[in-house]
C-alpha cells in the first residue's frame, strides 16, 4: 500500500490573490526554472503550519520546517542582503536537520514565533504586499513589507477507504494507514502479506520514505 499524499491548496493568507504568494512547491519550481522574478527580490516571508496542527488536521506534516529553512537558505545564497523571515509556531527540523536551522540563523534569517490564536495577517493593497505579526518576545505588532510570501502547506493523505476495506487494513482518524506495530512491524499490517510504505503511512521526508519502501520489500521477500 503506497498511495502517497497530496499538498493542501491553501484558502488563507490571501493565496490566489497575488502571484507573489506561493506554496513551497511553487517556489521550488521557480528555483528549478531560475525564474527572473527571484533576482528582483529584496524581502521574503515564509509562513509555517498552513493547514497543519489545527482542529481539522491536528498532525504535523513534518517536512515543512526543513523545506522552508532550505528555501530560505537558497534565497540568502542568491542574495545575502535579502531580508528573509520565517513565521513559525514550532520549528521541527529534527535530527541533523537542526544544522540547517543553525546555519539559517547564522546567515541572518529572522525567525518570529506566532500562536494559532493570533496568526499572521496578509494584505495586498495597491501592489504593496504586507504581513502583520506580533513579535513573541517584545509583545508588539510588526508590519513586514515583502516581495514574496511562501506558505508551508499541510500534507493531505489520499484517504482510500475502498482500498482499506478491500485489503482489510486500518486507517486512522486523519486518513493515514496504520502499521501493525510502530517498533515491531513498522512496514507491515496485522493482515498477513500486506505491506505499507511512504506517505500512505504518515508525512515523511524522501529519505525516510525510501528506507520504509526498502523495509516493505524486505518483509515481502520473506514470504
130 phi and psi angles, rounded to 5 deg:
-130, 150
What is the value of pTM for the model shown? 0.93
Contact yes or no for 131/84 (Cβ under 8 A):
no
- The secondary structure of residue 199, as a DSSP letter, is G
Query: What is the rounded average pLDDT for all residues in the chain?
Result: 95
The tens-digit pLDDT sequence of the chain (223 residues) is 999 999 999 999 999 999 999 999 999 999 999 999 999 999 999 999 999 999 999 999 999 999 999 999 999 999 999 999 999 999 999 999 999 999 999 999 999 999 999 999 999 998 899 999 998 888 899 999 999 999 999 999 999 999 999 999 999 999 999 999 999 999 999 999 999 999 999 999 999 999 999 999 999 999 8
Predicted confidence at residue 127, as pLDDT, reads 87
Contact yes or no for 136/111 (Cβ under 8 A):
no
Q: Kindly give, in sequence order, each residue whose CB lies less than 8 Å from that of residue 112, ignoring residues fewer than 6 positions away.
A: 85, 86, 87, 88, 133, 135, 136, 142
pLDDT digit string, tens, across residues 68-94:
999 999 999 999 999 999 999 999 999
Predicted confidence at residue 223, as pLDDT, reads 86
Amino acid at each position: 500500500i503506497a498511495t502517497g499524499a497530496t499538498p493542501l491548496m491553501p484558502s488563507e493568507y490571501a493565496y490566489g490573490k497575488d502571484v507573489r504568494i506561493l506554496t513551497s512547491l511553487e517556489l521550488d519550481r521557480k528555483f528549478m526554472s531560475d525564474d527572473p522574478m527571484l533576482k528582483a527580490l529584496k524581502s521574503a516571508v515564509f509562513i509555517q503550519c498552513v493547514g497543519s496542527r489545527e482542529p481539522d488536521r491536528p498532525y504535523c506534516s513534518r517536512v515543512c520546517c526543513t523545506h522552508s529553512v532550505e528555501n530560505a537558505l537558497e534565497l540568502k545564497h542568491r542574495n545575502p542582503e535579502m531580508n528573509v523571515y520565517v513565521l513559525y509556531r514550532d520549528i521541527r527540523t529534527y535530527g541533523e536537520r537542526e544544522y540547517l536551522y543553525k546555519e539559517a540563523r547564522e546567515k541572518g534569517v529572522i525567525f518570529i514565533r506566532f500562536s494559532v490564536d493570533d496568526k499572521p495577517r496578509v494584505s495586498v493593497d495597491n501592489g504593496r504586499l504586507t504581513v502583520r505579526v506580533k513579535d513573541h518576545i517584545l509583545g508588539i505588532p510588526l508590519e513586514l513589507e515583502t516581495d514574496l510570501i511562501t506558505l508551508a502547506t499541510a500534507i493531505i493523505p489520499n484517504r482510500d477507504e475502498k482500498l482499506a476495506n478491500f485489503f482489510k487494513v486500518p486507517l486512522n482518524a486523519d486518513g493515514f494507514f496504520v502499521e501493525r506495530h510502530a517498533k515491531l512491524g513498522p512496514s507491515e499490517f496485522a493482515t498477513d502479506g500486506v505491506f505499507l510504505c511512504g506517505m500512505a503511512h504518515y508525512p515523511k521526508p524522501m529519505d525516510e520514505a525510501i528506507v520504509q519502501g526498502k523495509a516493505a520489500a524486505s518483509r515481502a521477500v520473506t514470504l
